[in-house]
Structure 1
Amino acid sequence: MRVTNVRVTPVAVPDVPLANTKGVHQSVFLRSVIEMETDIGLVGLGETYGAARTLAALRRAVPRLDGLDPWNLRDLRRRLEAVLPDAGGVNAPTALADHKAVDVVYSALEMACLDLQGKQIGRPVHDLLGGAVRDRVSFGGYLFFKFAKQDLTLGPDILGEVMTPDALVDEARWMVADHGFRSLKLKGGVLEPDLEIETMLKLREAFPDHPLRIDPMGAWTVPTALRVIDRLSGVLEYLEDPCRGMDAMAELSAQTDMPLATNLVVVEFEEVIEAARRDAVQIVLSDPHYWRGPTGCIHLGEICRASGMKVAMHSNSHLGVSLAAMLHVAAATPNLNYDCDTHYPWTTRDIVVGGQRAFEGGALSVPSGPGLGVELDHDAVADLHALYNRAMVADRDDTNEMLKYLPDFVRKVPRW
C-alpha cells in the first residue's frame, strides 16, 4: 500500500462567542480535513487545525508524501522534518502556547496513516495503539462564560449571554440534562477571581457529586491562585493552568497540595521531564493533534506513568474525525485518570456519516470498525468548505474578536 495523493480541505464551522482570558471565539472555527488516498483504493482520514499556519504547513508537506508507505511512520516523520525544518509554530500571536508545525502536521498525517493501517487489516486504531482498556470513554461538560452572538449570518447561537455565576450554573444544568455529563470544567480567567470562586461554589451546591475543575489559562498570579485554592479547598478535582509558565507553576505547586494540570506549560516531551523534576504539575493533558499524533499520546501516557504524573485529555473545537481519534487514544491509555475535555456539545455541524454523535451518561462508545471507524459525509465537507470561502476567516484571533463585544478590551496575561 502506497500513498498516491493527499487532499487537504479547509472548512469553517459555525461557532458561538465562548470567552477566555485572551478573548472570545469568532463566528466560525477552522479545521482541516485530510483524505490520504492509496494505490489499493483505501482512503485514510485525518483532521486538525485549520488556521493559516497549519494550512500552509500541510500544503508544503503534501507534495512530499507521494509513494509513502502508511505503515512506515518513521519515514513519514523523516519526510516532514526534511520539508518543514524551519516552519516554526502554528498558533496565532495571541495564543498562550505554541505547537511546532512539524508536530501538528505529523499528528494529522499519522492519524490518516493509522486509519489506513486499520482499514487494511480490518482492525480498529486502538488495537494498533496497544489495545483498548475501556470500550466507553467518559467526558466532562465544558462550561464557558459567553456573550450573546451578535451576527447569526454564519450560524446560530446557543443559550444566549452567560456572563454571571447564576447564568453559568444554568448552562451547566443544560449540559448535564442534555448530555448526562458527570463532571464539569469551567473555562475561567474571564470574570474577576471572586466571581469565578462564587461560580464554582454555586456549581458545587447545584451538583454536589460532580467532580469540578477550572482552567483560567494562566490568568492569575501565584498569590491570586493561592487565594482561589484556599477558597475552593475541597471543591476542585484539580486546577488547570492557573499561572503562566513553568516557573510560576513550580512556585505555586511548592505551596499547595492542590493537584495542578496543564496543557500550556507542558506541550513538548522535554517539558514533561522538566515538570516532573520541578514538581511543577501533577497532571498533563494529552491531545492527538500536537503530541505527535495518537502514538505520541500513548508515549506521553507512559512517560507520565513512569514519572508519577497523571493524564487527562485536552480539547480544541473539533469535528467527528478528531472525536474518533480522541476516543481511540483514550481507549488505549491505561492511566487516563480523568474525564476527557470536549467542545463537541458547542458544535452544531459535523462531517462524518451519521452526523453528530449523542453522549449517553456523559460517555461515548469507542468505534469498533476498521481504522478510526468513521466515514466522511462528502456533502457536509463541501458545505463547510463553502462556508470557509464565504466566511473569509483565515486565522484565529480571539483578542481582536473580543473588541466587538468589549471595545476597550486589552489582552493581559496574567490579568489578576
Structure 2
Amino acid sequence: MKITNVESRLLYVPFTRPQVWASGARPGSTRLLITLHTDDGLTGYGETICLHEFIQPVVERTIAPLVIGHDPHDIERLHRKIDGAGYYHHQRAAVAALAGVELAMWDLIGKSAGKPLYQLWGGGFRRLIPTIAYLHARPPAELAAEAAEFVANGWQTIKVKIGLDPKTDIAAMRAVRDAIGPDVLLRGDVNGAWTPGTARRQLAKLAELDLEFVEQPLMLDDLIGHAQLRRGSQVPICIDEGAFTNTDVLNIIRLEAADVILVDAHEAGGWCQARKQAAIAEAAGIPVGIHSGGELGLSLAANLHLAAATPNLSLAIDSNYHGMPDDIITERFVYQKGALAVPERPGLGVEIDWDKVDRYTTDHIHDAYINRDRPDWFTMKPAY
C-alpha cells in the first residue's frame, strides 16, 4: 500500500461560548483535516490543531511531497524524513502538521488490518475513558454552579482555568470545591501565568482544597523553576506546555520537575511520539493524562484509543468536547457519566460527515487567542 495523494482542509467550529483563560480567549476551534489516498483504494483521515497560518503550508509543501509514494505503515521512517527536511533544528514548527498526517496514516493502518487502533497499540487496558469537565474563566459563583451541574451529570473530575489575578484564582477554586464537595477531583490550570514567588504563595493558599494537581504554574520552558517549586509544594505539580518533545519529558523526569505529565500528540508530532512519552513517564512511575486543544471527532477518537491502550494513562483525560456544539463525524460521541467509550470499528472508528465539513470549511485562522472583548489587553507571561 502506497500513499498517492494528500489533501487538507481548514475547518472552524465555534464553541458553545468563547473560552477565556490566561492566554486570552478562543471563540472556537480551528482544525486542519488531512486526507490520505492510497493505491489500493483505502482512504485515511487525520486532524490537527491549527492556530497558525504556516501549518497547512507545511503539510502541503513539505510533508506531502515526502509522503507520496510512502507506505503508511512506515511511520518512524516518516519522522526521520521530516527531521531531514530541515526540521531537526525546528521541531516545534513541524509537530502539529506532522501529527495530522501521522494520524491519517494510523487510520489507514487500522483499516488495512481491520482493527481499531487501540488493538494495534497494546489492546484494551480500559474501554471507558473518564474525561474532565473544563471550566473557563467566569465569576466564581457561575463556575460553582456549572461545576455542580457537571457533577450531577456524572463527571468526577473538574478542571478550572486560573492564572488571571491573585484573588480571583483563589476565590474561583474555593467556590468550585465548595460546590462539588470533597470527593470529586479538582485541578487548576495556570497556563504559565505565575512567577515563582506568586506560585509559592498561591499554592500555599490552595493546599487546603486537596487538589489533584495544579498544571503549568510557571512558564513552559522553566523546568528548573518547576522542580524548585515542586520540592516546596504540598500541591502536586503537572507540566503540559513544557512537555512537547520526548526529550522534554525525559528532562522533566531528570529534574524531578513534575508529579504528573500531560501528553498531547499534536504537540509531540503524533500519537507514535505520545505513546513513547507515556512509556518514558511510566518507567519513572509518573502518571500521565492527555491535554486538549479543542479536538473534533477524529483527534478525540485517537486520544480515546491512546488512553485505552496505555496503562499509566490513568487520569481523566482533558477534553473540550462538551463545549463543542457540533462535530464533523456522522455520530457524535456520547458521554456516559463523564466518560466516553472507545470506538470499536477499524482505524479511528469514526466516519466523516462531509456536509458538516463543507459547513465548517474556512479560509483563515479565527482569532487564535485574541480577546476581542478586551481590545487593549494582551498576554503577559508571567502575568503576576
- Give the shorter-chain TM-score range: over 0.9
**What corresponds to 1:181 in structure 2?**
155
**What corresponds to 1:241 in structure 2?**
216
Indicate yes or no: 2:238 matched with 1:261: yes
Distance, in Å, in 1 between the alignment partners of 2:267 and 2:377 is 30
**What corresponds to 2:314 in structure 1?**
337
**What corresponds to 1:414 in structure 2?**
382
Equivalences, count:
377
- CA positional deviation for 1:198: 1.6
Match 1:71 to one of 67, 70, 73: 73
Distance, in Å, in 2 between the alignment partners of 1:56 and 1:360 is 39
CA contact (8 A) 2:156 2:338 kept: yes
- CA positional deviation for 1:103: 2.6
**What corresponds to 2:59 in structure 1?**
58
**What corresponds to 1:154 in structure 2?**
none
**What corresponds to 1:131 in structure 2?**
123
Unaligned runs of 5+ in 2: none
- CA positional deviation for 1:222: 1.9
> What's the C-alpha RMSD, in Å, of the aligned pairs?
1.8
Unaligned runs of 5+ in 1: 90-99, 146-162
Distance, in Å, in 2 between the alignment partners of 1:243 and 1:280 is 11
% same residue: 33
CA contact (8 A) 1:214 1:238 kept: yes
Task: Write out aligned runs for 1:16-415 (5 A).
Answer: 16-25=17-26, 27-50=27-50, 51-60=52-61, 61-85=63-87, 88=90, 100-145=92-137, 163-177=138-152, 180-190=154-164, 192-208=165-181, 209-235=183-209, 236-244=211-219, 245-354=222-331, 356-385=332-361, 388-389=362-363, 393-394=364-365, 396-398=367-369, 401-402=370-371, 404-415=372-383
Distance, in Å, in 2 between the alignment partners of 1:106 and 1:406 is 34
- CA positional deviation for 1:176: 3.6
- CA positional deviation for 1:196: 1.7
- CA positional deviation for 1:396: 4.8
- CA positional deviation for 1:37: 0.8
Greater shift in the superposed pair: 192-201 or 126-135: 192-201
Distance, in Å, in 1 between the alignment partners of 2:35 and 2:326 is 19
Q: Deviations over 1:32-66 (max 9, x none)?
A: 01111111111111000223121121112213222
Distance, in Å, in 1 between the alignment partners of 2:302 and 2:261 is 18
- CA positional deviation for 1:234: 4.2
Distance, in Å, in 2 between the alignment partners of 1:188 and 1:43 is 42
Distance, in Å, in 2 between the alignment partners of 1:86 and 1:312 is 27
CA contact (8 A) 2:286 2:312 kept: no
CA contact (8 A) 2:18 2:28 kept: no
CA contact (8 A) 2:121 2:306 kept: yes
For 1:184, what is the secondary structure of its paired residue?
A: strand
Distance 1:324 1:119, change over 3 A: same
- CA positional deviation for 1:87: 8.3
CA contact (8 A) 2:147 2:180 kept: no
Distance, in Å, in 1 between the alignment partners of 2:279 and 2:367 is 33
Distance, in Å, in 1 between the alignment partners of 2:380 and 2:279 is 36
Distance, in Å, in 2 between the alignment partners of 1:127 and 1:84 is 34
Q: Deviations over 1:279-332 (max 9, x none)?
A: 111211011212232222221111001123221110001100011001001111
CA contact (8 A) 2:11 2:31 kept: yes
TM-score normalised according to structure 1 size: 0.86
CA contact (8 A) 2:75 2:102 kept: yes
- CA positional deviation for 1:104: 2.4
TM-score normalised according to structure 2 size: 0.93
